[in-house]
A and B are shown apart, each in its own frame.
Chain A
Amino acid sequence: MGEAKGTWVLKKGLAEMLKGGVIMDVTTPEQAKIAEKAGACAVMALERVPADIRAAGGVARMADPEVILRIMDAVTIPVMAKVRIGHFVEAQILEALGVDYIDESEVLTPADEKHHIDKHQFRVPFVCGARNLGEALRRIGEGAAMIRTKGEAGTGNIVEAVRHMRTVQGEIRWLQSLRPEELMSAAKELGAPYELVKEVAVSGRLPVVNFAAGGVATPADAALMMHLGADGVFVGSGIFKSSDPERRAEAIVAAVTYYNDPQVLAEVSRGLGEPMRGIDLATLNPEERLAVRGW
């Protein structure tokens, strides 16, 4: 009997298994263990969380393989890692390391201002950020098996993630309202592959799992994103930049499952200590915005 690996079913399928879960940014094996114990469904292995990448400035690149391997050894849940937009060699390296998912991420400094990675060439699945439906469908067209909102990473401010999720969902509803002969024009307007536009118009949802990311800092933020249609949540700086990471991590995990139950949300939100400080986006210079990276 033949065995098939790296298929679309397997790439998309792993993302299906992550649904209803929280993926947490970690920088050390100790943090990874805290995240796993708190109920994270996966971790993102990084050298620095986005808030520190922002503070450090300079060029942000793929993490040192040593850091990633130590985190992979520390936990049994899936481990993701980030590559720069368009940097397919960083992606080849992560695939060789055996990471479970690659995030082609605007949080790192882009390596290519025009082209994203041809993700069909890889056996390892990819997740990519998107601000709107066209961007999401372009990434899926290139082979992304999972999508997340870009939000504005490292700010602890949910406003951009909300904007991006509402935009994607609103554009899906718009496609559903169109007549079949109008879909080609819609595809042109969105800059998205026609076949995927047709698929979304019929199904009423993205062809792959769609998580919220970029600015989640509290259980209420996570639950808000679930209400707006997220399949799950990434939390970057929000956990390990807060005063009590263990409890906040547990609370956000519970909030994603029980997002529709304000009693549970009230209970888990009690006494979590200080959330990460956060940034008002109006104080960011345009060049400090990460969400505009990629196209």
Chain B
Amino acid sequence: MRIGVLAVQGAFREHIEALRRCGCAVFEVRKKEELESVDGLVIPGGESTTIGKLISDFGLADVIRERAKHGMPVFGTCAGAVLLAKEIIGSEQPTLGLMDIRVRRNAYGRQVDSFEADLEVPVLGSDPFPGVFIRAPLIEEVGADAEVLATYKQGIVLVRQGKMLAATFHPELTSDLRLHHYFLSFFEN
């Protein structure tokens, strides 16, 4: 199994390290040709406006959409979750629009309001998951096909839709690999 990590901007190195610790073969993806040789894709945290612009300018966005519609698993964290959303509230920035979720950027405020908090994520077991929220977005609404996997203070922070996963926090900045392993379970069958 070959996992690609979108490496145009942001914290791609941390995802690569986490996936390698999970035992995966991991590849950086910057060009559309590089997308063709991977079985799944992680879209890291970073600035969603920057990543969104680069993947449209360099032709990756269409290929990602096409592959995801044909069942390629995709995992987006923070900016990655924003880019997966069908709608970004109050913004016209480019998005992949693959998941039936509405997202509000910088929902908790500016950097001084960034926070760490333990999350209850039932699909990962009973131990809390370390949630690192950096200028984090919030998932305000999900469609019928999307399943809410975790909330924090009534706000939705983790959603699965088919083989796509969106987290508003940063598992790649922690040493906890459970969410990465959960994503990798999408490749079974």
Contact = CB atoms under 8 A, between A and B. Distances in A.
Interface of A: 1-7, 9-10, 13-14, 16-21, 36-42, 72, 76-78, 95, 98-101, 123-125, 253-254, 256-258, 261
A206 to B, nearest CB: 13
B116 A21 contact: no
Contact of B113 (A5, A258, A261): A5
Contacts of B157: none
Contact of B9 (A5, A7, A257): A257
Contacts of A42: 47
B111 A19 contact: no
Given A9-B132, A19-B13, A124 B116 contact: no
A283 B106 CA distance: 46
A224 to B, nearest CB: 18
Interface in B96-129: 105-106, 109-118, 128
Contacts of A10: 111, 114-116, 132, 134
B37 interface: no
Nearest to B88: A76
Contacts of A253: 50, 53-54
A76 B49 CA distance: 9
B173 interface: yes
A81 to B, nearest CB: 12
| B contacts with A: majority SS | loop
B8 A9 contact: no
A258 B7 CA distance: 10
B79 interface: yes
9 contacts: A1-B117, A4-B117, A10-B116, A21-B9, A77-B49, A95-B112, A100-B135, A125-B111, A253-B50
A39 B54 contact: yes
Nearest to B57: A254
A184 B132 CA distance: 35
Contacts of A7: 116
Given A14-B134, A14-B135, A41-B47, 17 more contacts: A1-B117, A2-B118, A3-B115, A4-B116, A5-B113, A16-B45, A17-B134, A37-B53, A40-B47, A41-B50, A77-B49, A98-B109, A101-B111, A124-B111, A254-B54, A257-B9, A257-B30
B111 A100 contact: yes
B14 A39 contact: no
B75 interface: no
Given A16-B173, A17-B47, A77-B47, A257 B8 contact: yes
A49 B41 CA distance: 39
Contacts of A258: 30
B134 A41 contact: no
Given A3-B117, A257-B30, A258-B30, A19 B112 contact: no
B12 A20 contact: yes
Interface string B9-24: 1111110000000000
A39 B49 contact: yes
B24 to A, nearest CB: 20
B189 interface: no
Given A7-B116, A14-B134, A17-B45, A100 B110 contact: yes
Contacts of A78: 47, 111, 135
Contacts of B115: 3-5, 10
B11 A17 contact: yes
Contacts of A20: 7-10, 12, 46
Given A3-B116, A10-B114, A123-B112, A19 B9 contact: yes
A257 B135 CA distance: 23
A234 to B, nearest CB: 15
